[in-house]
Amino acid sequence: MTRLPLALVLLIAPPAFAQADIEKVNGSITVEARQSAGLLETVNGSIRIGDAATVRHAETVNGSIHVGDGARTGRLETVNGSVRLGEAVQVGGAIETVNGSVYVGRGGRVDGGVETVNGAIGLVDADLTGGIETVNGDTTVGAGSHVAGGIRYTKPKVNWRGWTGERREPRVIIGPNARVDGPLVFEHAVDLYVHSTARTGAITGATAVRFSTDRAPVK
């Protein structure tokens, strides 16, 4: 019987264990630190991914997604919930939510865009290879962050001004030494603040207020 060289066997052999999918309707999902999983999907429940864990894709409808330090994931999606990444997290795809915020911690990298409707977006010394798109959420491109693909605020699909309460304009901050490659397009009014050390593409639909302090001015 012919024996294959060990190196060749290792190349063609299947992995010792497959990354198992976890799918639920009602209930939260947790992947422990330094563990691996495939698709994580639930309808009514949150998803928690531990430090240094690896996940192919995570999706929920009514729940938040929390990713620990140093984890690696694919696309992250929720409808009614926030997405929060710890430090040095790598996301190989977009981050999307409708009613919830998105936070990318220090040293994070997202290979895709970030999209919300009614949720704030915050980056801290993080890299985003796709653009940012939102309607009503505040956006902070924090110190040292880099966004490729620009920023777009789209018009809402309903007339906000038809209601009787006060409406605050979204607050957009481009922080110290931050960079936004691509256009910043605002289809409705926002309060835009750009640090004197930051760099951005062309700005349409808003007038930037320059600042040189650690924090943007409070209107």
pLDDT at 54: 97
What are the φ and ψ backbone dihedral angles of 91, each rounded to 5 degrees? -115, 115
Q: In whole angstroms, give the CA distance from residue 206 to residue 188.
A: 8
How do residues 9-30 score in pLDDT, each as one tens digit?
334 333 433 579 999 999 999 9
Averaged over 105-133, what is the pLDDT?
96
Per-chain mean pLDDT for the chain: 90
- In the numeric block, the tokens 């919830």 are attached to 100
Q: In whole angstroms, give the CA distance from residue 175 to residue 121.
A: 13
Q: In whole angstroms, give the CA distance from residue 169 to residue 189.
A: 6
Q: Provide the CA 85 distance to its chain's centre, in angstroms.
A: 8
> What letter represents residue 203's amino acid?
I
For residue 114, CA distances in Å to 75, 76, 94, 141 come to: 10, 10, 6, 12
Averaged over 192-203, what is the pLDDT?
98
Sequence-separated (6 or more) residues with CB below 8 Å from residue 61: 42, 43, 44, 78, 79, 80
Q: In whole angstroms, give the CA distance from residue 67 to residue 80.
A: 17
Q: In whole angstroms, give the CA distance from residue 123 to residue 107.
A: 10
Collapsed DSSP state (helix, strand, coil) of residue 194: strand
Give the H/E segment covering residue 172. Answer: strand 171-174
pLDDT at 193: 98
pLDDT at 13: 39
Quickly state the pLDDT bin for 158 (edges 50, 70, 90). low
- In the numeric block, the tokens 């996940």 are attached to 55
Q: Provide the CA 170 distance to its chain's centre, in angstroms.
A: 18
The pair of structure tokens assigned to 189 is 């009014």
How do residues 37-56 score in pLDDT, each as one tens digit?
999 999 999 999 999 999 99
Q: Which pTM was predicted?
A: 0.87
Q: In whole angstroms, give the CA distance from residue 118 to residue 120.
A: 7
pLDDT at 156: 85
